[in-house]
Amino acid sequence: MTNAIYTGHCLCGDVKLEGRGDPRVDVCHCDMCLHWHGAPGMAVSFANGLSISTGEALILTFDSSEWATRSFCKKCGTTLFYKLKAKDEFSAQAGLFNLPDTVDISEHIFIDEKPGWYDFKGDAPRLTGAETLAKYAGDGSD
């Protein structure tokens, strides 16, 4: 594990995020992500945490489901992150950061909701919606 620090920002640059440690990129194929992004969600989390550096007052949050909230910059509209309610964890959109080319996709979630008009190469694990909810939306004990 590295102690690297990654900085990210929204399109206007007024909301800045900081990730610490090794990055992990997951791809979400759920219907909500497809509508939110117009494409699959590509989220990044970091081994030593993720925090908001500046612009917290510009962040609007939408209570999108029983298990997560989604946030965006109210100035430029950039989708920023989603937060798991039960675990008090959040993951930012991977495209906000300049991640190294060596970062691979760790996991695909809600693979059973993926439309047939796109695909990803590689052998990263692929979880169904039920498997994803069991793993991430539980009571925080796992």
Whose tokens are 């080319």? That residue is: 101
Walk along the chain (142 residues) in steps of 10 and give the mean pLDDT of each run: 90 98 96 92 95 97 90 97 84 96 96 96 95 73 38
| DSSP string covering 52-115 | EEE-GGGEEEE--SSSEEEEEETTT--EEEEEETTTTEEEEEGGGB---TT--EEEEESGGG--
pLDDT at position 85 is: 84
Total-model pTM = 0.87
pLDDT at position 16 is: 98
Whose tokens are 């798991």? That residue is: 84
Cα–Cα distance, 4 to 20 (Å, whole number):
6
pLDDT at position 67 is: 79
Cα–Cα distance, 47 to 125 (Å, whole number):
19
